[in-house]
Amino acid sequence: MAVYTEVSFEDLQALLKNYDIGKPTSFKGIAEGVENSNFLLTTERGGFILTLYEKRVHAEDLPFFLGLLEHLAAKGIACPVPVRRQDGAQSMTVNGRPAALLTFLDGLSLRRPEAAHCAQVGAVLAHMHDAGRDFALKRPNALGPQGWPPLVEATRARAETVQEGLANLIAEALAVTHAEWPENLPAGIIHADLFPDNVLFMNGTISGMIDFYFACNDAFAYDLAVMLNAWCFENDGSYNLTKGRALLSGYSKARALSDAEMAALPVLARGAALRFLLTRLYDWLNPDPSALVRPKDPREFAKRLRFHMRVKRAAEYGI
């Protein structure tokens, strides 16, 4: 269970005095997510998620994240919405952690999405990009190219203990990706972490998007590259061209990609693979002893990065 900070019944009673959501009927920690402590709260008025922000989410970023959820929901994007306190505040502090109460979305994430699911989620991503265009707040991508060198330095000495040749792979990928990184692509609000476990389905149709805590301002095509990594590889590390074609087609039908975006897709996909390899490697080497969930294995992203290092044209992704 991904709970780092416990919340007692007394803690819950104290925080609920600030909300008008009815009496609680159940409250339990849940396993979704590895970055924060999450609890499912049910009251006589419905379900809610209490999130305590632990690792990479800082209190000063909460107005961006929570304001974005309100903005996207108002634009018709199915996502959690922060429940405001009786004094109008979006967030609070619980046991020394910044925290927020959000609406609960029905649906299940898919362990093995199929091509039809990839097409749907590509279209939803494009709609989210469009919906975020007039969101007033800005947040740079802290895990973009400028954020990779510190992670490389923090993991270099022990990378070989995880996989032989990993340090050299990372060093080579960092050098070529930095040298080729594109500028001035169409940009705006991106999710930056839209993996299958962050998309909910009901009866084969998307019912919601969750976990916007890496959202930021960056290139739209980079968000698409993250999804190629997240949705279009099989367990053996092979790229599924059918899924890739469906994802890209679903996105481009809702928002056409420019020639520059298509040309940049291989380097963006390589950068996305490197980003997740580095953060997973760091967490693997520095596990939190208080967490009851094992960090995700970085080696699967080493496989994906090696694939992207060989790609020369966007057509190889199915576009």
As a whole number, mean pLDDT of residues 249-274 equals 98
Q: Return the minimum-mean-pLDDT range out of 57-61, 74-78, 119-123, 251-255.
A: 57-61
Distant-in-sequence, close-in-space partners of 121: CB < 8 Å, separation ≥ 6: 113, 194, 199, 206, 227, 231, 247, 250
pLDDT at position 249 over 60: yes
- Counting residues of the chain whose pLDDT is more than 90, the rounded percentage is 89
First to last CA, the chain: 39
Q: What is the DSSP string of 102-169?
A: EE----B--SS--HHHHHHHHHHHHHHHHHTTT-----B-TTSGGGHHHHHHHHGGGHHHHSTTHHHH
pLDDT digits (tens, 9 = 90+) for 100-148: 999 999 999 999 999 999 999 999 999 999 999 999 999 999 999 999 9
Task: Tell the residue number behind the tokens 């959000």, with chain if given.
Answer: 102
Tell me the domains of the chain and their CATH numbers: 9-103 (3.30.200.20), 115-317 (3.90.1200.10)
As a whole number, mean pLDDT of residues 2-15 equals 84
d(CA 105, CA 78): 8
The enclosing H or E element of 283 equals: helix 259-285
CB 30: neighbour CB atoms within 10 A?
14
Q: With H, G, I as helix, E, B as strand and everything else as coil, classify residue 225.
A: helix
Q: With H, G, I as helix, E, B as strand and everything else as coil, classify residue 224.
A: helix
Q: What is the pTM of this model?
A: 0.93
pLDDT digits (tens, 9 = 90+) for 184-214: 999 999 999 999 999 999 999 999 999 999 9
If pLDDT is split at 50, 70 and 90, which confidence band does 291 have? low
